[in-house]
Amino acid sequence: MCLKYHCPICGTSLGYEGLCWKCKAEKNRQDVLKWTPEQVKQKQEYLIQNIKGLEDFNEPEYTDFWNLLCYRDAITSEIQRAALEAKVFYPNEIYYHAPEDVRNALIAALLETNDSGAAGELMSCLAMQGDDKALETLLELERNPRPWRKRLYVAPSIYAQCGGWTFDKDGHRIQLNFDTCYPMVKGTAGEETPVKIGRIREDSCPHCGGKMVDIFVLNGRDERLKFLGIDGILTATCCPNCVGFLECPAYNRFTLDGGTEVFPSKLFDDEDKMECYMRLEDYKSMAENSFVLAKNPVPLFYGADCEDVNTIGGFANWVQDWEYTTCPVCGKPMKYLAQIQWDTIMDGIEGTLYIEVCSDCKVVSMHHQQT
Ligand SMILES: [Zn+2]
Ligand SMILES: [Zn+2]
Ligand SMILES: [Zn+2]
């Protein structure tokens, strides 16, 4: 491919004239953030009138929905009621924290259906609604499975996870994500940040010989990050080359003074050796990225529908299905902490790294997904 053009904003070489995809996504987001209250109202009204188009991916409904949800936190109960009325159950995020009347109708529809597909969709919607009554219903269905359960791959407690929570055998709620979200933004040279992405280490990976990286280093004592309840430094360490080829997520233990102890890992392949595809310039661009923690929090779904933003807390943009890791030490579900889009720190590298944490054991997990 001939790369004779350049993105006018960031200078990336392109095979076409115009903005690169990342600058384009950023521009779209900035446009949405500038919508006036009247414009938001108009989009909401249009969505209510055309709610059926949402499940058919019609435009502008589909894009409007995600923009309203992710960047403006502006999905109202009226939109939720309209969706229910029209039997629109996709995307299930519509029903995030929906009011009681909507929740009751979702429960009634779920208990009535004999269809496994509909049951799956309705369970996801209820998971997004997420209150105690939703939990009670999913728990009841877990204990007394309906005939449709056999045709679904996973149990109701796994469906609950898409709403950022689940429950144990006794029906106790377990929260799987944090109720605050911060994005990483481009900072100026030398700007202080309590979160650093991609710090190259001295030691090498036992599988590929490439450099190990502290891919995510966070100081939980920063005022903005108090919601995490981590009273010190959290370090997530992995080999960026191998993390996508491991049989399990990569794990390490961290100490609050900045220490890290990497757990041994195994590759999918029986041979425990891997080629290193990382080039020197990849390590360099990773180490030199200018991301800093944003000054202010953003809506919880801010990073849930884009591939160009790194976020801490809130909801992830799962490339495949949501995936909450079990803590290898205590066996409890880990909590989703952050996502890093590889392409934001190394040009042309696809996929997302999801970082989860067990605060009790001071263990982090890292796993990779891509299309
Ligand atoms: Zn660009
Ligand atoms: Zn490696
Ligand atoms: Zn644990």
Mean of pLDDT values over 84-96: 97
Amino acid sitting at position 5: Y
Domain ranges in the chain? 37-175, 181-369
Q: Is the pLDDT higher at 99 or at 1?
A: 99
What is the Å distance from ligand 1's center to 242 Cα?
28
pLDDT (mean) for 128-145: 97
Q: According to the model, what pLDDT value does residue 268 have?
A: 86
CA of 68 to the centre of ligand 3 (A): 36
Asked if pLDDT for residue 306 goes beyond 70, the answer is yes
Ligand in nearest proximity to the CA of 19 = 1
> CA-CA distance, 368 to 342, in Å (whole number)?
10
For residues 217 and 128, what is the distance between their CA atoms, to the nearest angstrom? 30
7-16, 152-161, 198-207, 333-342: the lowest-pLDDT one: 7-16
Residue 275 zone, left/alpha/beta (φ > 0; ψ -120 to 50; rest):
beta
* Nearest ligand, measured from the Cα of 251: 3
Strands (DSSP E) contained in 194-341 are 195-204, 211-219, 233-238, 250-254, 260-262, 291-293, 311-313, 335-341
Distance CA(238)–CA(367), nearest Å, equals 10
Percent of the chain exceeding pLDDT 70 equals 99
Residue 10 in this model has a pLDDT that exceeds 90: no
**What is the percent of the chain where pLDDT is above 90?**
90
From ligand 2's centre to the CA of 207, what distance in Å?
A: 5
Ligand nearest to the CA of 333: 3
* CA 1 – CA 309 distance, rounded (Å): 27
Would you say residue 230 has pLDDT above 70?
yes
- Tens of pLDDT along 342-368? 999 998 889 999 999 999 999 999 999
Per-residue confidence (pLDDT) for residue 1, from 0 to 100? 58
Q: Give the pLDDT score at 346.
A: 92
The residue-averaged pLDDT of 21-40 equals 95
Instruction: Read off the pTM.
Output: 0.95
| Distance between CA atoms of residues 175 and 186, nearest Å | 30
Ligand 1 center–CA 24 separation, angstroms: 7
Q: How far is the CA of 101 from the centre of ligand 1 (A)?
A: 45
Residue 137 has pLDDT above 90, yes or no: yes
- pLDDT digit string (tens) for 205-227? 999 999 999 999 999 999 999 99
